[in-house]
């Protein structure tokens, strides 16, 4: 069975009762809105009815006027402009947006994605050398650069200007670029602080459209790429991000660009795309290019304008993703075996695994897989070009960056944030790092932090679930951080006798409560076939679930997707 989880039922703002009356909705809807920070009629209207005129003026962003002025100078002087971005989904979508837009206005323009293994993350000296050797005098950097002070200084020595478009937290001193677009600058008045890197790239082209009095639709056509970056980079889907994700998904479903259409077709996706489609279908394939081959392949696909070429690019990227998936699967099994071989595994509060043969491009994925199974702060290390490097992933509420920082005497370099980080060390330091990291984690992590939690929006009786509720729940999409798909719980349910295990240990049920035995819902629980004996013994069970629409042979019905079970104490 899966790890036992703590169930936490969230408490709405007391004002949700007034909201319920103002909107004439039931207590379930007002509770869900309250938990998402919506407390009045106007906020609810904005939430349920996104409009493109809700997007902010891009010139509210510090340095936007400087950035547009520099681009106009480059155009008037026929300068060569290089669009530079990171190799992940946010970086490659950002480059695709800005490159595709400005190639209509800039005669000499190209793009550059650093090599994940030779250059690493962000702006590199090699990238600047490439620009200098090829006479580029302006670099627009996307999804990176906010802490690249030394690189920007190096570029200045070669008479190359930088416009930085980054969404990461700045350091103590901003780089001396011509313009620095980052809503997280202390002196930036931009009202929404959670844009992705591609989101800032979009604001740049939006500003240019305004300056040149171009039809604003010329930048709206790139919202599909912005939506993909928002989903993949796990930024909050609130405010401006929610508007861009909403209309980006609408574009993907109605008129997708050739590259996205080709990826959807190759995976035979027929139902409307949602955030899950972007996260689990598009993003892994776009990422795979940078993990296994080169991130420029993703830009080729996403900026392609011809269906036939896009299909060729998509096939190549899909094959690369299959290779990545095989590596991921094999490495995960090897990591599980290493864990089982450690007699102290159960008593340790952290996981640090090293294998010199693992592929550097998938260690972050494997770290996430290990947390799903063991739920401990995890670091997966491999060796590349004589150095040991790896990725760290954390459990909820534990700051893994701070823990790594306390071991910095054993590291060559490290970076990241509270829940994910990267690090590099000498091979001879691996064992000492494993021991020190375990000591640091053991001294600071609590027992509660080592137990996964499920946050529950609302407790329901099955009798409260209806087609009307499902219709309203659909309007809560698109889902993501700070607006996750609503999670419910119900006490003391039974199976009507149709329970069965199918596929790879999945469970299918028809659940009901004895208070209303005629109200029954089909339910499915993935990877939880082991729980069937509770239902066979007529044990009352509490369930945590999401409410979804299931379509089979043209007929739609309500289906509960169960995420966790426990034996009921309320019966």
Residues 355 and 490 in one domain: no
Residues 291 and 150 in one domain: yes
Report residue 2's pLDDT band, with 50, 70 and 90 as the boundaries: low
Task: Decide if 406 contacts 445 (C-beta within 8 A).
Answer: no
Task: Tell me the pairing of strands 458-459 and 488-495.
Answer: parallel
Residues 405 and 505 in one domain: no
Residues 478 and 417 in one domain: no
**pLDDT, tens digit, 9 for 90 and up, residues 103-112:** 999 999 999 9
What is the pLDDT at residue 185? Answer: 95
**pLDDT, tens digit, 9 for 90 and up, residues 247-306:** 999 999 999 999 999 999 988 776 789 999 999 889 888 888 776 667 789 999 999 999
Residues 420 and 289 in one domain: no
Of 450, 467, 487, which residue sits at a domain end? 450
Residues 243 and 389 in one domain: no
Residue at 276 is within a domain: yes
For residues 219-240, average pLDDT? 94
For residues 315-339, average pLDDT? 88
Residues 208 and 226 in one domain: yes
Residues 269 and 360 in one domain: no
For residues 148-157, average pLDDT? 97
Q: Is pLDDT of 318 > 90?
A: no
**pLDDT, tens digit, 9 for 90 and up, residues 410-422:** 998 887 778 888 8
**pLDDT, tens digit, 9 for 90 and up, residues 37-53:** 998 999 999 999 999 99
Task: Output DSSP code: residue 318.
Answer: H
Residues 501 and 523 in one domain: yes
Task: Tell me the pairing of strands 541-552 and 555-567.
Answer: antiparallel
What is the pLDDT at residue 384? Answer: 83
Which of 122-126, 291-295, 337-341, 560-564 bottoms out in mean pLDDT, i.e. has the lowest? 291-295
Task: Output DSSP code: residue 57.
Answer: P
Q: Any idea what the CATH number is for the domain that residue 395 is in?
A: 3.10.310.30
Q: Is pLDDT of 177 > 90?
A: yes
Answer whether the bond into residue 198 is a cis peptide, omega within 30°. Answer: no
In terms of Cβ atoms closer than 10 Å to its own Cβ (0-12, 13-18, 19+), residue 213 is exposed
What is the pLDDT at residue 571? Answer: 57
Highest mean pLDDT among 64-68, 120-124, 266-270: 64-68
Greatest alpha-carbon span in the chain: 80
Residue at 41 is within a domain: no
Residue at 22 is within a domain: no
What is the pLDDT at residue 291? Answer: 67
Average pLDDT of the residues of the chain: 93
Task: Decide if 93 contacts 150 (C-beta within 8 A).
Answer: no
In angstroms, what is the C-alpha Rg of the chain? 25
Q: How far is CA 281 from CA 253, 258, 328, 561, in A?
A: 14, 16, 16, 20
Task: Decide if 246 contacts 49 (C-beta within 8 A).
Answer: no
Q: Any idea what the CATH number is for the domain that residue 459 is in?
A: 2.40.50.460
Residue at 302 is within a domain: yes
What is the pLDDT at residue 415? Answer: 77
Task: Decide if 373 contacts 353 (C-beta within 8 A).
Answer: no
Residues 285 and 414 in one domain: no
Residue at 42 is within a domain: no
Spatial neighbors of 390 by CB under 8 A, at least 6 apart, are 354, 363, 367, 379, 380, 381, 382, 422, 423
Q: Is pLDDT of 533 > 60?
A: yes
Q: How many domains does the chain have?
A: 3
Q: Is pLDDT of 313 > 80?
A: yes
Of 263, 284, 318, which residue sits at a domain end? 318
What is the pLDDT at residue 362? Answer: 87
Report residue 513's pLDDT band, with 50, 70 and 90 as the boundaries: very high
For residues 119-133, average pLDDT? 92
What is the pLDDT at residue 371? Answer: 94
What is the pLDDT at residue 226? Answer: 98
What is the pLDDT at residue 1? Answer: 56
> Where do we find the tokens 């036992």?
4
Task: Tell me the pairing of strands 351-354 and 179-181.
Answer: unpaired
Question: Three-state SS string across 71-120, please?
Answer: HHHHHHCCCEEEEEECCCHHHHHHHHHHHHHHCCCCCEEEEECCCCCCCC
Backbone angles phi, psi at 299, to 5 degrees: -65, -40
At 352 the three-state DSSP class reads strand
Torsion angle, alpha carbons of 504, 505, 510, 514, to 10: -170
Residues 133 and 260 in one domain: yes
User: Rounded distance, CA 430 to CA 412, Å?
Assistant: 12
Q: Which residues of 342-399 form beta strands (DSSP E)? A: 351-354, 378-384, 387-393
Q: Which long-range contacts (CB under 8 A, 24 or more apart) does 14-22 make?
A: 15/39, 19/44
The residue segments making up the domain with residue 299 are 58-318
Of 387, 420, 450, which residue sits at a domain end? 450
Q: Could you tell me which residues are beta bridge partners of residue 62?
A: none
Write out the DSSP string of 427-472: GGGHHHHHHHHHHHHHHH--TGGGS-EEEESEE--GGG--HHHHHH
Task: Decide if 263 contacts 281 (C-beta within 8 A).
Answer: yes
Task: From 288, 305, 289, 253, select the one nearest 274 (Cα to Cα).
Answer: 253
SS3 content of the chain, % helix, strand, coil (to 5): 45, 20, 35
Residue at 333 is within a domain: no
User: Rounded distance, CA 57 to CA 72, Å?
Assistant: 19
Q: Which long-range contacts (CB under 8 A, 24 or more apart) does 34-41 make?
A: 35/10, 35/457, 36/238, 36/476, 36/482, 36/483, 37/238, 37/482, 39/13, 39/15
Percent of the chain with pLDDT over 90: 77
Q: Any idea what the CATH number is for the domain that residue 120 is in?
A: 3.90.1640.30
What is the pLDDT at residue 169? Answer: 85
Backbone angles phi, psi at 10, to 5 degrees: -75, 150
**pLDDT, tens digit, 9 for 90 and up, residues 205-216:** 999 999 999 999
Spatial neighbors of 363 by CB under 8 A, at least 6 apart, are 331, 380, 381, 382, 390, 391
Q: Sort residue 63 into left (φ over 0), alpha (ψ -120 to 50) or beta.
A: left
For residues 401-406, average pLDDT? 94
Q: Which residue would you say has higher pLDDT here, 340 or 463?
A: 463
Residues 138 and 254 in one domain: yes
Residue at 552 is within a domain: yes
């Amino acid at each position: 069975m899966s790890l036992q989880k703590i169930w936490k039922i969230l408490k709405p703002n007391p004002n949700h009762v007034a909201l319920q009356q103002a909107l004439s909705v039931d207590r379930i809807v007002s509770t869900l809105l309250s938990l998402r920070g919506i407390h009045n009629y106007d906020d609810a209207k904005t939430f349920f009815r996104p409009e493109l005129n809700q997007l902010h003026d891009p010139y509210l962003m510090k340095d936007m006027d400087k950035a547009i002025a520099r681009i106009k100078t480059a155009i008037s002087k026929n300068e060569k402009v290089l669009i530079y971005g990171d190799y992940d989904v946010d970086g490659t979508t950002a480059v695709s947006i800005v490159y595709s837009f400005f190639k209509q206005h800039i005669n000499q323009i190209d793009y550059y994605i650093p090599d994940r293994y030779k250059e690493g993350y962000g702006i590199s000296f090699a990238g600047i050398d490439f620009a200098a050797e090829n006479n580029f005098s302006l670099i627009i950097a996307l999804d990176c650069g906010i802490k690249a002070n030394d690189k920007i200084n190096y570029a200045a020595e070669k008479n190359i200007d930088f416009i930085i478009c980054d969404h990461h937290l700045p350091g103590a001193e901003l780089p001396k670029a011509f313009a620095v677009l980052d809503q997280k600058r202390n002196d930036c008045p931009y009202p929404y602080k959670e844009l992705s890197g591609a989101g800032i790239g979009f604001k740049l082209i939006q500003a240019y459209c305004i300056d040149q009095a171009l039809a604003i639709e010329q930048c709206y056509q790139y919202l599909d790429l912005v939506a993909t970056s928002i989903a993949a980079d796990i930024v909050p889907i609130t405010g401006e991000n929610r508007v861009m994700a909403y209309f980006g998904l609408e574009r993907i479903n109605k008129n997708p660009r050739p590259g996205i259409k080709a990826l959807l077709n190759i995976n035979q996706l027929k139902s409307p795309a949602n955030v899950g489609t972007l996260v689990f279908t598009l993003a892994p394939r776009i990422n795979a290019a940078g993990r296994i081959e080169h991130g420029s392949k993703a830009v080729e696909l996403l900026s392609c304008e011809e269906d036939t070429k896009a299909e060729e690019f998509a096939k190549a990227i899909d094959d690369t993703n299959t290779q990545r998936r095989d590596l991921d699967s094999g490495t995960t099994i090897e990591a599980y075996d290493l864990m089982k071989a450690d007699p102290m595994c159960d008593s340790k509060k952290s996981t640090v695994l090293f294998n010199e043969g693992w592929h550097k491009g998938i260690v972050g994925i494997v770290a996430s897989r290990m947390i799903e199974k063991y739920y401990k702060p995890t670091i997966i290390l491999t060796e590349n070009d004589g150095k040991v490097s790896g990725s760290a992933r954390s459990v909820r509420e534990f700051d893994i960056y701070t823990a790594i920082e306390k071991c910095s005497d054993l590291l060559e370099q490290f970076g990241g944030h509270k829940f994910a980080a990267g690090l590099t060390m000498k091979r001879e330091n691996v064992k000492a790092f494993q021991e020190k990291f375990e000591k640091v984690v053991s001294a600071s992590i609590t027992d509660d932090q080592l137990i996964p939690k499920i946050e529950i929006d609302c407790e329901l009786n099955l009798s409260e679930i209806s087609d009307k509720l499902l219709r309203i729940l659909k309007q809560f999409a698109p889902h993501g951080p700070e607006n996750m798909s609503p999670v419910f719980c119900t006490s003391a349910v039974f199976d009507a006798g149709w329970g069965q295990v199918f596929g790879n240990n999945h469970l299918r049920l028809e659940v009901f409560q004895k208070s209303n035995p005629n109200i029954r819902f089909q339910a499915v629980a993935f990877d939880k076939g082991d729980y069937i004996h509770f239902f066979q013994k007529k044990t009352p069970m509490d369930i945590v679930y999401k409410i979804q629409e299931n379509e089979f042979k043209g007929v739609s019905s309500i289906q509960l997707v169960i995420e966790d079970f426990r034996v009921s104490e309320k019966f």
